[in-house]
Amino acid sequence: MVLVSTARHGAPGRIRIIGGSLRNSRLDVADMPGLRPTAERLRETLFNWLAPIISGARVLDLCAGTGALGIEALSRGAASVQFVEREARVARAIEQNLARLKQADGAVAAMDAEAFLRGAGRPHDLVLLDPPFALGLWKALAQQLEQGGWLATAALIYVESPRTVTLTLPPNWQLQRESHAGDARGALYRRT
């Protein structure tokens, strides 16, 4: 994740949910160096793509950061969201936002994504994969998702990365759509 100001999304330290039952709700964002909320434009594009399938989906938000992607999924009717965030203070902020917004279908694991994926896999319909850009974890996490039983048969995987980085992802992940916002690329893959 790359540091960006949240001021353009609202008050400093807050971003807003853009659609669904929680539309215009504000999320408190922990003050943490390197925390990069997904740009509002990319979030809106992603959830427009997901509109036909998000209702009732089981979602895994890896490297959740602010939790904005997963909370947006809950707002739009996802059945459940498992958030995974390694920074304890940031994970607590997600838990506090979920409690304040009365979102009981969200659970937070305060641990490293790679360690989480070494656990017993439970298939998810949608995975939100947005690791800190500087760590270059896309390939390792994608392999763990694919091999560990974390993906439903025709799961969708949203991958956010720098525009200039070429990713090595499992060959059975077929690109469905992609968009760009600033230096970030958002791509939606379907597992085949």
Q: Is residue 114 part of a domain?
A: yes
Please indicate, yes or no, if residue 141 is contained in any of the structural domains: yes
Least Cα distance to 45 among 26, 64, 72 occurs for 72
Give residue 99's identity as a one-letter amino acid code: A
For every one of its 192 residues, what pLDDT tens digit does the chain have, with 9 covering 90 and above?
A: 333 333 333 334 788 999 999 999 999 787 777 677 788 889 999 999 999 999 999 999 999 999 999 999 999 999 999 999 999 999 999 999 999 999 999 999 999 999 999 999 999 999 999 999 888 899 999 999 999 999 999 999 999 999 999 999 999 999 999 999 989 999 999 999
Task: Give the position of tokens 């992940």.
Answer: 173
Residue 169: helix, strand or coil by DSSP?
coil
Give the CATH number, domain containing residue 89.
Answer: 3.40.50.150
- pLDDT of the residue at 39: 82
Decide if 2 is inside a domain.
no
Within 8 A by CB and 6+ apart from 183, the residues are 2, 162, 163, 164
DSSP 162: E
Structural domain includes residue 29:
yes
Residue 51 maps to a domain: yes
Q: Is residue 16 part of a domain?
A: yes
**Count of domains in the chain?**
1
Indicate whether 1 belongs to any domain.
no
39 lies in some domain:
yes
Domain with 105, as residue range(s), is: 7-191
